[in-house]
Structure formats: structure tokens, C-alpha cells
Amino acid sequence: MKVPWLQIVLVCCCFWIFTSQAQWVPVAPQWGSYGLYDVHFKDQNGVAVGQKGLITTSTDSGFNWTIRPHASGYELSRIGYAGGDTYYACGEKGEVIRSSNLGHHWSRTPVPSAEILNSISFINTQTGWVAGENGGLFKTVNGGVTWQKNDSIQSGTQGIAYVKFFNDTAGVVVFRNGTAKRTTNGGLTWLSYATGLSNVYVRDASFTSLTRGCFLWGYQFHTVVSMRQTMNGNTFSDITSYTCIANENLSRIIMMNDSSMYLLNNFNMAAYSTNSAATWNKEYFSGLPYAGPLIFGYFFPNRAAIVLMAEGYVLRRAAHGGWTNLREAPPVPVTTNYWTFSDLLYQDTLHAVGMYRDLNRTLFLRSANGGKNWDITDTVTPATLYYSRASANKVFMLTTNGQVYKSTDTGNTWSSTNTCPCKTAAQQVVSYRFFDDTGYLFCSDKSLYYTTNGGLSWNLRSSTPSFTQVVSVNSTKWFALSNSSIKGSFYLYRSANAGISWDSVSLNGVIPGADFSAGIYAMQDSILFMTAQYRDNAAPFYKTIHRLFRSSNNGNAWKEMSVGGPRKSGDVLTVPYAPAQFTSSGGSVWMWGYNGNYPVFHSPDAGVNWYAQYPKVYMEFPFVHALNSNTAYATFRDLIISKANNAGLLPMPAKPAVVSNQLTFSQIAHQSMRVHWQRKSCDKYLLLISNKPISVLPLHAAEYGTGYDMGDSAVVAYVGEDTTVWLTGLQPDTTYHFSLFHYNGSDHLAHYQTGLITQSQQRTFNAPVITSVSRTVFCTGDSIYVNFTSSIPFTDSVTYRLYLSNESGIIQVPNGMIAEIKTNVYSGTIGAKIPVSGLSQSYVYRVAVAAVLPHGIYAGEVSPQLSIAWRPVIGIATSDTLKCTLNKGFVLSHTGSMVSTTTRLWKFPSGTTATQTPVMYNDSLPGTKQIKLLVTNRGCTDSASRNVYIYSPKTPRLNQGAISYLCTGDSRIISDTAFTPQARYSWYRNGGLLAGISNSITATQAGFYYCETRDEDSTCLMRSDTVVVASLKRPALTYQVLNGPVICDGDSAILKVTSDTNALFRWQQDANTIAFDTVSFHYPKSAGVWRVQAVHLIDSSCVSPWAGNTSIMVNVSPPAVQIQATRDTLFSSINSSLYYYRWYRNDTALNEFLWYTVPKISGSYQVELKSIKGCISLSTPVQFTYSPGTNVNGSISQEYIQIFPNPFNEWLTVASDKLEGIRIVDARGSLVAELYPQRNPEQWNLSHLPSGFYTLQLILKNGAKEYRKIIKAE
């Protein structure tokens, strides 16, 4: 199919498509000699600014750009997004501009300074900051109408490179010299960061919060740039990982969040990190039209991106379908500039083994989390790995020096089995495969070996032809390929007994004339694939073509397969020096070559149909491994692993079984037609056109442009969000077929329409003819209605223009054109409404119509003469709108001017009329009355109406009772219960007029209240009864806790309250009323929250605020204790570390704090137990008589030292009069504290110790040592 305009678009697109590692595509040309400096996107809408005031916008995620006009030519360097559709931009000479419609129109809002503005930050559409090269920091709070300079920043003449505010109070400023400051009060005061830099040159900075940011610094004319970042909000430190990109002359940094950031440099390089700059991944933009610096990058959440180059190029990178990267940085230390996996094998979605090779070593790697992290399990030095294969949990590896390694635990541990036969320079390993411990080994000297014991020993197969490749389906069924030295001769062999004997296989169906066969692959027992290289003799230079053949019957018959698309221009199956590689699982098969400029091809149906896929990474030295029919893994340069879910594709669209009516067609001509479809909830539409039924389907995640050749005669006719497209350049008398796809980001919905045939000839052109004009005399402010007929040939667009002029030929509007009508109607009657204003009554006018076609303007007829009459504009005026039935009436007049030809007519509700002005209207019946006025001038009319109201008066009634009390701070609403809606109210207090005009008023003061109702002239005046409002003082409380709030069980708290007025007290426990009386004291004995409120004795609605809210806590007292005695010692009946002890003699406290005492004086003794909470239990007195000479040594062994509580949380108490010191040792035997008591008992705060078990080494005064175990609780 030849479509000229589609061919042109296709050529332009192909010229700028590059197949670099991330598929960066220029989507906009150079803007003359102007460069771009900054870009921002809101969803799919983007704005970019640059030199000479250049502004360009995009509405389709950066594919297409439109230059926007700007009031000045000042250079613009930065964009600030303010929310909604509002943008600001700043640049040289203090220029700031503002747009409220996504950058389509702009207005100037400059700052009061001529300095260059480097940075801009807005927190909303009204509030923002800009910073300049001379140190100026300016703020606006009214959308740039005015700017206020911030003097507290004290920058002197030091330039500001970056400003960012996160809200109205928190912001950060980075200076050119490497210093930085932050504010938390909107710029009133500033604190300095500890950057550790001065007198350097900051190129760029980026912050996500006051405590997280990075900046690039160096020296102004040096290329090496360093990076610093802060993680704690104050101190900055160097990012050591930048060494991999340190010499890249970095120019821009963009922080997406606290962990993801991007870097750009001046030599076509971008780097990104997703782990807070711990590691970086680089990508280069090779093959671009200009190798200048990258000015700025805007990265979308889905990893699509926009990058600006210094010469004005805009580059766009799209997301990449169903492939996702599992790892974006080298997992192990490396010694070369780039790194690759030699082989990769996944046992399941989590467990994988891989071999990594650099210059002097091979590392065996293993992953247990799907490839995100890898562990080194073994290393081979200096040999390098050649190939590896696995079966179940067994993995075998061969190295170039002929060593065989085996693992039986999925690559976790390795052992050497034996040296393989292929180990010399002439016997390099070509291929091998294991089926459990059974496998074969094919060497470069054409020898074939076999093992049944995992490589411990090898057997040479005899009678092997001169093979170039051997593949296998299982342990016994093998296929071999032999390329002859004669061009075009190659042979295929098959063995059913593990290579003992071979049979020749037919190549029926393989196109003859091939240079050689690139390789074979056995997918299943009966399905084989073969690639072969051919020379294209028709090409002007040497060019090779690689063809793919498929056999479904063990190689007995072959068929060439079409490797489909869409794929980029120039993509072929593979390249001459890179034979195709295959991997498969179930019915899914993937095919790829070594070179990274070409896609991975996938077939979901065992090789019948193929689709191109573009994983997200550079495919240098690739390897692809199929885990199952839906999942594949690919490894590339830099050890990146990419995973394909859903076989690398999102679900393919299904062709419907019946023709859909979604497409409608109109204006079908000999070379053009209009196609329309219904709007759906989707991102965009894709329309294909062909001159035969369409069978191709679009590939998800691929980018398409208008004119893209889909193959099989199908071309992309439209891509976008509109629902209508005009197609031109079609062939006459041709049937066209269409496919429409609704793309919503995850799938395509297909609709088809076929059998549309274009017309064979043009129609005759007729100039438009005016058939009628609405009237010959029209009023000022009206519109002229013009009907005309037209019959013209179909074209891509048609416009009708209507002109108006006076009889003297004087044009009353610019260029004489008063209306321009775009229509899809090309024959029959067309109507147009033309608004006209500002024309003179002194002229006679005519209307002319013309048709505007692409090749010229065709004038039509001129209308009859038209004249203009002045349309009167009037209103009704009256001094009153409200009357009562006792009044006489209303005086009415009109507003607006009259001319001599104007007539007027008053219409009243009673049916009477009048023509004079002013006029009197009387009516004694209550209700709303509408008066109308109609004026006319030569058929031009205007009317007005006015409502007035007449009512019967009523006496207002307040009925509030004899007296109403008003508590301090309260209010009362006084209302008229007889309410007359139309009356006007006046309220009085103590005879003074108040502000109220409605039927109620809120009283906030004591006094005598009444109201009056009246009409406008106060003829019907009615007064209400009087309401007395008396003030009442609100009680005020004084609240005290005399005992408590913590009490012991059996005790009572004491709460006291007094009021400054006579009142009742409402006591509540946990919001439940316990007492309501005049008692000022309350004695709670139970736990709970207690509060009290005073209620006035005169009016119960006058209450005090709640007081108290006291939380009473009740602690448990120690149990009852008794004294037990021996001849010379008194003991407490309770011995526990839970209590403190104190002894009394004759009611006098002793300095005795143990659970026992040895009295030396006779008297009445008591022991007191006190809990940690302070509750006490006191024993009954015991009379003791002292007998001198008593020896008590040893009578209380092991208990003369008390330690409590145990376990403890914060405080530890030790009681003993024989203690010299304490050493605390932790569970590991380490000394953690040394304590020396100053009193008995002694307390220490040990909250700083971690929880756990400890040992106390007690050093006694006599030199002895004892040990106790204690527990430190959480």
C-alpha cells in the first residue's frame, strides 16, 4: 500500500530512532540555535524552558512539543511547579513568569532585582521563593504580584545555587561556595549545615526534606565533580560510591525520594541509584545527533524519562513492557570496567545459580531471593568458566582449562569431578548437556564424549561425522549439524541411542543457497529450529539475511517462519557473526543473538508465531534462561538480570469474531475520508489501515508513531487521544480495512470495520449562495441569522467566512470578517449566527459569505440591505417595596433613556394599564404584586418587572414569662411568636435600639427587651410585650485534694470543694454521679476519676465547669505482720524482698531496717512493713526484756542482707549494716558497676543497665564475700 504522507512521517521517525541500551529516542528537533535548560511534567503534560525565552510544551508525555509565545526574550533557566495547572519560571535580569494553564500562556511577575535567578521553589499557587547569583532570596505570597527580599539569610554577595521550601516554614538554601543553611520559621532565622566545604563551586543540589539532600561540587573550571549528602539532617559527607562516575563531569542531580536519585553529565551519560547512592548504574546515549552535555532529566515513576540536551534536543525513553530488572548493580567486587554472567540458571523463581567472569577469576554465585542478592560459593583462578548446565538440584560446570565442577545443592557447594577430555587448544568445549549424571560433551575437534557417572569418566563415541553442533532432547535422542567446507552444503543427523549410531535427516523445505547453517535447537521430541545465513545479492553492498526454519516432525520436513514485530527499523534475526541462541519451557521459546542492538524474540506457541521484545537493559553478551512457559530471565552487561513475566508480553489483543460498529465513516471522497469512533476510558487509541484484511496485532509496551509499518500491508494511521481522524492521500476506487485498538496501559481492545470503498470522482464545486437573512432591520446587541447553501468537493477541511460592511464600503470590524464557521457539512443548507455590536444606526449594511478551501477562497453572494434600530434598555424604580393595608400606595417610574419613537405600557395585577411616567399604583388586598413595563422602538423591545408586597399588620408577642435568667457567659434567644414575614423589625433593650432586624434576637445582657414591626414609611407600627432578662453569676469552684490521690486499701482520699455562690455539688466517679448535695467534702475509697461541678440554687442550668478530674489510685497494703521472738532476737513473721522494714521501740523509730533486730534495751517493740508503693502494715507491740551477755552470731545466717525488689526495673535497694561494697557482673562475667553504700538501707538507680541476669558480689566489712542473683526486667 502506498500512502505518500504516511511514508514521509515514517522516514522522519526512523531517522531518529536509536537502539541503545535504554532506547533513547529524540522526540523534538533543535529549536534553531536555542537550547533548553529545564523541564517538568504533570502527568502527560510537560513544560520546558531555555535560551532567548524559549518555552515549549507537550501534552503527550514528551512525544510532541509546541513552542509558546512569551512577553520577553530573557533567558529562562529553571521551572517551578506550584500545583494544579500553575507553573513559574525564572531566569536572567530578575525575570519571573507565571502560567495558570500548564504553560500555554504566560505573564511577567519579575522580582525587584536585575540579578540572574538560579533556582525557584513554590509550595502552592501563591507562595514561593526565587534565589539569585548575587545572593538575593525573594519571597511572594500573592502569586508574584509583589516580592519581598529576605535579609536574614546574610549571603552578602555569595550566589545561591539552590533553594527549596517544603512548606511555609521549612526550607533549605545551598550557596555556590559549598555552604548551606536551613530555616524552620519561614526565613526569619537560619541555621548552617556542617558541609565541610568553602570556596568551591556547587553545580547543582537536590533535597527531599530538611534532613535529606545531596549536592554536586567541584571547582568552577574543573571537570572532576564530587558528591556530598546528608543522612542525619546536619552533617554532610562524601558519597564514596561516586568513584565509578567521578570523572564524568557531572552537571545535574535529581532526587526522586530518599533512596532514588539520578545524575547527568556533560558527555551523554546518566546514572541512577535506588539505594541511597550506595551503588550506581550508568547508561550512555550513543549515536545521538549531538554529543553535548545533558542539561536536565525528568524521570517518571515507571522509569520512562525525558532528558534535555544543551543544543535543544529532547530525548524520551519509554518503559519496556513485561520485562523488569531484578538487579541493577554488580553483586560482587569486580576488577574490570564491565562484568557479565557467563551463564545463568533458575531452579525456580527464588533459587538461581550463576557464573561471573572477569579478567583473572571465575566466581560461582548463588541467589535465594530471585536474583536480587548473590553469594559467592566458590572461586576458580585463573581459569575462566566456559559453559554450565544443571538438572534438578545438580549443576555441572566446565572451564576453559578442562575442569569439571559439580554441585548437588543448587550451587551452594562445589566439588571437582574430573578433568574433561576437551582441554587442549584444539579441543575446546563447543557444547555439552547433563541429564542427571548422564551427559555428553562435544569438542571443537569434532570429537563426542559420553558419561553416565556425572563426569567422573568419559567414553569417546566412534563413527561420528564431522559435526559442528550437537543438541539433545533427552539422554538418548540427539541431533547433530554438519557444515561442509563447500558453500551452501550442510547436513543434519539424528541419533536415538545416545550417539552410538546416526541417521541422516532430510532438509526438505530449507531454502537452498545458504552460506551455512547458524545452528539448530531441539525444543521437544519432534520440534526443531534451524537458522541459516544467506547473501542478499540485490543489496548494493555485502549484506546477509538470516532465516529461521522450523520442523514439527523430527527434521523430516522444514518450513521458513516469519519473525514478527513490531520491531525497530533494521532489526533482523541476528547478525552474521552471532548465531541465534534458544531457550524454551513448555510451549514457550525465546530466541536471541549476541549483539545488544537487537531484540529478544518470543513465541508462545512452540515457534509458530514470533514477537519482538525489548528488555530494559543493554544486551551485550546476553544469556536467556526459560524457567517456565510464562517466565524467563536474561542477563546482560553489568551483571543486570531482567525478568519477563507473562512471557515478556502483556496479554495480546484478541480479534473479535464479528465486525464491530465502533467505527463510523463520513465524507468518503475519492482520496479522503473521515473516521470516527466512540470515546472509551483509555489512555490512547491506535488505528491501523490496510488495503486487505488486517491480521497483525500490536505488541504491548511498544511505542508506535503515525506511519509505522506494522507488516502485512498494515500501517499505523493514527495514535493519540482524539476520537476523529481525517485520512487523505487514499487511492480512488479502493476498499480499505481498519483495526481500532483502545489502549489502557495493560491491554488492547480490538474493533474492526471492513469493506469501505473510496469514491471514484470529484464532485462539482458551487460557490456558497445566501438563501435567507433573519430580518432586514435588527436591533443593537442582537445577532444576524444567515442561511446559505453550498456544494463543494470533499477536502480535508472547509471553512466559511462571513463579512459585514456598510453601504459606503467602510469596514466596521478588523479585516471585515465577523464570523468564521468550521463545519463538516459540504452540501445543502448551512446556518450561521453572527453576533454584532457597536454598529451605527446611520448606515445600511450587507453580509457576504465565502468558502475557504486549501487551494483558495471562493466568494459567494451578498445579502440584501440591513438596517439597525436602537434597542431600549429599561428598569422600574420605586421608593417603596413594602406597604401595609393602611397605606395609600406606590409611586412607580422607569429607568433608562427614551427616544421619540419609543412607546411604553404599564401592566398592573388588576388588569389595568397606563402609559404615563411616573404612575401611582393602589391596592388594599394583601399579597405579592408584580408590575410590568414594556417599551418598544421600531420592533426592538425591552421589558422589566418589579414585585411589591402588601400585608395586614399583627401585634408581635414575645411570651418569655415574667423573668428569664442569664448565666454569666450564656445567651438567650427572644423571638416573635406572631411572626409577620414581610414586616421590618426593630429591637430595643432598656429603650435603646439594637442591631437586630429579624423576628428574633440573641440577648447577652440583662435588661428589658421588646420589638416593633413596621412597613417602609412606618405607618403600620406595632409594639410587642416586654421580656425581663436578669443576670445570674456562674459559680466558681475552689478544689483541693487533701489526701491522695494515691491511697492504700482501707484508707480514704479526701477531696474538698468550695463555691463562691450558694450551690449544690454534683460529685462523679468515672462520669457517674455519686452524690448531689451541699456537702463540701468527699471521701473516695475506690479507684477511679473523680470530678465535681457546682449547680446554682436559683437556676439549675447555670453550672460551673467541671473541676478535679483526679485519678484516685488504690495500692495494696502489706499483709498483717507479727513479731516472733527468741531469747535475744525479734523476727518479723514476714521475710520478703517486696517490703521495707523499720523497727520501733516505745513508739520511737529505730535505725533498724532488717526483717529482724537484736535489742540491747528493754521496751515495747513493733515492726513496720512498707511496700514499694508506700502502704504500711504495723505489728502489735511486743514487750522485750534485755538480758546482757547474749551471743547471737550465726543465728540469722544468709538473711542479714536484704535485696529488693528482685526482679527490679529501675531502683535497687540493699539493706545491711555489715556491707562494705557491691560489684555487679553481667551474664558474660564482665564488671558493669561498683557500688558503695552511704547509708542503711541504700538505693541505686540502675535503669541504664540492659535487661537480663546479673550477679551481685557483696563485699562485707570483715572481708568476706557473698553472692546474690538478680534480674533486671524490661
Strand partners, 492: 481, 505
**Number of neighbouring beta carbons within 10 Å of residue 1163:** 16
Name the most confidently modeled range: 113-117, 445-449, 458-462, 535-539.
Answer: 113-117
pLDDT at position 342 is 58
Which pLDDT belongs to residue 186?
A: 92
Is the per-residue pLDDT at 514 higher than 80? no
* Per-residue pLDDT at 656: 43
The four Cα atoms 197, 198, 204, 209 give a dihedral, to 10 degrees, of 50
d(CA 517, CA 579): 9
Distances (CA, A) of 287 to 143, 255, 293, 705, 1201: 43, 28, 14, 21, 87
Give the range among 37-51, 633-647, 865-879, 1093-1107 with minimum mean pLDDT. Answer: 633-647
Q: Write down the pLDDT at residue 119.
A: 95
Q: What is the DSSP string of 1142-1159?
A: EEEETTEE-S--SSEE--
What number is the average pLDDT over the span 571-598? 60
Residue 258 has pLDDT above 50, yes or no: yes
- Measured CA to CA in angstroms, residue 1226 lies from 594, 1230, 1245, 1257 at distances of 63, 6, 16, 11
SS3 for 66? strand
pLDDT score for 880:
78
Residue 586 sits at the vertex; the CA angle it makes with 583 and 587, to the nearest 5 degrees, is 85
Burial of 1081-1106, coded b for 16+ CB within 10 Å and e otherwise, reads ebebeebbebbbbbbbeeeeebbbee
pLDDT, residue 126, reads: 94
Query: How would you class 938 by CB atoms within 10 Å of its CB: exposed for 0-12, middle for 13-18, buried for 19 or more?
Result: middle
Q: Which residue matches cell numbers 509499518?
A: 709
Structure confidence by residue, pLDDT tens digits, 1228-1261: 788 899 998 988 888 888 888 888 888 888 888 8
446: exposed, middle or buried (Cβ count in 10 Å: 0-12, 13-18, 19+): middle
Q: Give the per-residue pLDDT at 487.
A: 56
Instruction: State residue 374's pLDDT score.
Output: 67
CB 1216 within 8 A of CB 1156: no
- Confidence (pLDDT) at 1035: 94
Q: Residue 460 contacts by C-beta under 8 Å, 6 or more apart in sequence? A: 421, 447, 448, 449, 450
Residue 153 φ/ψ, nearest 5 degrees: -70, -25
Rounded to whole angstroms, the Cα distance separating 994 from 1137 reads: 77
Count of all residues that appear for the chain in the document: 1274
Q: Where are the alpha helices (DSSP H) in 677-795?
A: none
- Which residue would you say has higher pLDDT here, 87 or 668? 87
Q: What share of the chain in percent tops pLDDT 90?
A: 13
Instruction: Name the H helices within 852-930.
Output: none
CA distance 106 to 79: 13
Between 364-368, 691-695, 804-808, 1085-1089, the lowest mean confidence (pLDDT) is in 804-808
Residue 612 is predicted with a pLDDT of 60
How many whole angstroms separate alpha carbon 159 and alpha carbon 152?
Answer: 15
- Say which range, 29-33, 405-409, 1030-1034, has the weakest mean pLDDT: 29-33
- Spatial neighbors of 1072 by CB under 8 A, at least 6 apart, are none
Q: Which pLDDT tens digit goes with each residue over 652-664?
A: 444 444 455 567 7
CB 768 within 8 A of CB 802: no
Give the cell for residue 675.
473516521
- Cell numbers representing residue 374 in the block: 548473590
Residue type, 329: A
Domains and CATH numbers, the chain: 26-322 (2.130.10.10), 663-757 (2.60.40.10), 766-869 (2.60.40.2840), 875-951 (2.60.40.10), 964-1032 (2.60.40.10), 1037-1115 (2.60.40.10), 1201-1274 (2.60.40.1930)
Q: What is the pTM of this model?
A: 0.36
Which segment, 112-126, 196-210, 548-562, 904-918, is predicted with the most confidence on average?
112-126
Q: Can you give the pLDDT at residue 6?
A: 28
Residue 886 amino acid letter: L
> How confident is the prediction for the chain on average, in pLDDT?
74
Compute the Cα dihedral for 392, 394, 395, 396 and give only its sign: negative
Instruction: Please tell me the least confidently modeled range out of 85-94, 190-199, 212-221, 536-545.
Output: 536-545
Answer with the residue of higher pLDDT: 130 or 619: 130
Q: Residue 32's pLDDT is what? A: 46
C-alpha cell read off for 973? 434567644
SS3 category, 248: helix
The predicted model gives 348-368 an average pLDDT of 64
Cα 903 versus chain centre, distance: 68
Instruction: Give the range with max mean pLDDT: 425-434, 701-710, 1145-1154, 1187-1196.
Output: 1145-1154
> Average pLDDT, stretch 732-761?
65
- The residue with cell 558474660 is 1228
Q: How far is the C-alpha of 27 from the C-alpha of 140, rounded, in Å?
A: 36
Residue 1236 contacts residue 1250 (beta carbons within 8 Å): no
